[in-house]
Amino acid sequence: MNESKISVRYAKALFSSAVERNLLDDIKKDIDFLLHLLQTQPRFKELLSSPVVKAKGKGEFLNKIFKDQCQQLTMDFLHLLLKNNREVFLLEMCLNFQSLFSKLTGIKSAKLTTAIELDNTQLQKFNQIIQVHFGSKAEVMTMVDENLLGGFILKVEDQQLDASVSTQLKKMRRELVSYIKN
């Protein structure tokens, strides 16, 4: 079966169960937490995808880490993945779940990359700009990339605004080289 079909089906199943049990917001928090771990802790992802570690060992690990932090539905979902050998698709499932949640709530997902870490006031201003420009609220994930030198790169769904100093300098360099050649 196609990997994307697997991820979408499992995400839809979890989403439907969460809606049915009126736990959508709680499960969304669990999924956000899992996604954060998968994206920031490479060893966690390695453990889940390792063929050396048996499903029982992975299940015990997940119970120790998440039992007190996640909803029972999330734990049942994780154990179902282990039972069916689908844990390697967890990252894609989390992303698909977030997409389903965004469609239902009308909240857009945004990624904001800056040269320095922003405070809450600055983040609120970006949220207001996104809300005015796109007509809906956005869930903003922030990232720091010192190579930008200054400014920011904002991605909202399939649109990108690059207002970074590094991009402006590259643009100026290309124009200068083009001007000198002519």
pLDDT digits (tens, 9 = 90+) for 80-104: 999 999 999 999 999 999 889 988 8
In the predicted model, what is the mean pLDDT of residues 130-144? 81
Give the per-residue pLDDT at 106: 81
In the predicted model, what is the mean pLDDT of residues 59-73? 89
- Sheet order of strands, 159-162 included: 138-144, 108-114, 152-156, 159-162
> Mind giving me the DSSP string for 103-160?
HHHTPEEEEEEESS---HHHHHHHHHHHHHHHSS-EEEEEEE-GGG-SSEEEEETTEE
Topology given in CATH for the domain delimited by 106-181: Glutaredoxin (3.40.30)
The secondary element (H helix, E strand) that includes residue 41 is none
Q: Which CATH number applies to 3-103?
A: 1.10.520.20
Give the amino acid at 178.
Answer: S
Question: Cα dist. 154→56, 83, 109, 120, 145 in Å?
Answer: 42, 39, 11, 17, 13
Best CA proximity match to 113, nearest among 77, 131, 140:
140
What are the residue ranges of CATH 3.40.30 in the chain? 106-181
Whether the pLDDT of residue 1 is over 70: the answer is no
What are the residue ranges of CATH 1.10.520.20 in the chain? 3-103
10-19, 64-73, 95-104: which has the highest mean pLDDT?
Answer: 10-19
Computed over every residue of the chain, the mean pLDDT equals: 87
Q: How many CB atoms lie within 10 A of CB 15?
A: 23
pLDDT tens readout for residues 144-164: 888 888 888 888 877 888 888
